[in-house]
Amino acid sequence: PPAEPLTELRQAGGVRTIVLNNPRRRNALSLPMLQSLRRDLLHDVKSRELRVIVIAAEGPVFCSGHDLKELSSEDDVKHHSQVFELCAEVMTLIQKLPVPVIAKVNGLATAAGCQLVASCDIAVASEKSQFATPGVNIGLFCSTPAVALGRSLPRKVALEMLFTGEPLSAQEALMHGLVSKVVPEDKLEEETMKISQKICESSKSVLALGKATFYRQITQDLDTAYKMTTKVMVDNLTLRDGQEGIEAFVQKRKPVWSH
């Protein structure tokens, strides 16, 4: 029989759900899995109908990180570079997309899987979820996951995870800012859709501008960030939806977005 697709894409009501669909391999980010995920993230991404992307997974492991079979000495340096470069491309792509991306985590997220959660704009996790960067235990320090982890967590928390490989519980991940919300497993779908539908009520063009600006300003010093965002606020007012939103507020009606 034909192999199951490594990722499944479904879309309804403005919400695209991409499901990592290789539970037998713990949804490892193999080269084919990364290629499939990138393809689904980029599919018709400029469509007005697409408003938010949710990344979910089949099975008890959200994502176990890289497929270690691809990183053995049987493959050469060129192949290893290809794996890590594509992974970095996918992680940075998530933040460059014009729509918010939500990680819907139900289970274990380790190494590059933890990196994937940290790279998403929002992360909703079930109470049973755990997060770890255990590469140090097998002699492969999680240096690329550390990029996303170090930008999501306090430095000492990130370094403890990286140095020990010990997992964070869902509640610890929430406390330290790796995830946005923790809910019972049976409420995970409901809570993720609630956030998604709220996002869908806003203008896609305004959200795209806001998301891009957020990631630009976060790496700048205070004065540069305010100078840049001041100009963006002015630019926002020139958008059709920027004017529509203000007019609707003044006229006490719901805005009609053009996106």
CA distances from 86 to 66, 135, 238 (A): 11, 19, 37
Residue 237 tokens read as: 């007012």
- pLDDT for residue 4: 83
Rg over CA atoms, the chain = 19
Cα–Cα distance between 197 and 114 in angstroms, integer?
25
Q: Any idea which residue has 């926002």 for tokens? A: 236
Cα–Cα distance between 188 and 17 in angstroms, integer?
14
- Amino acid type, 163: F
pTM score, whole prediction: 0.96
The top-level CATH class assigned to 202-251 is: mainly alpha
- pLDDT for residue 76: 83
| pLDDT tens readout for residues 166-205 | 999 999 999 999 999 999 999 999 999 999 999 999 999 9
| pLDDT tens readout for residues 24-37 | 999 999 999 999 99
- pLDDT for residue 1: 56
What CATH number does the domain located at 7-200 have? 3.90.226.10
β strands within 66-224, DSSP E? 101-105, 108-110, 122-126, 130-132, 168-169, 181-183
Cα–Cα distance between 95 and 119 in angstroms, integer?
7
User: Which strand (E) or helix (H) includes residue 133?
Assistant: none
Of 71, 101, 219, 248, which is closest to residue 150 (Cα–Cα)?
A: 219
- pLDDT for residue 244: 97
Q: Which of the residues in the chain have pLDDT under 50?
A: none
- Amino acid type, 195: I
Burial class (CB in 10 A: 0-12, 13-18, 19+), 56: buried
Of 29, 200, 191, which is closest to residue 114 (Cα–Cα)?
A: 29
Could you state, in order of their start, the residue ranges of all structural domains in the chain? 7-200, 202-251
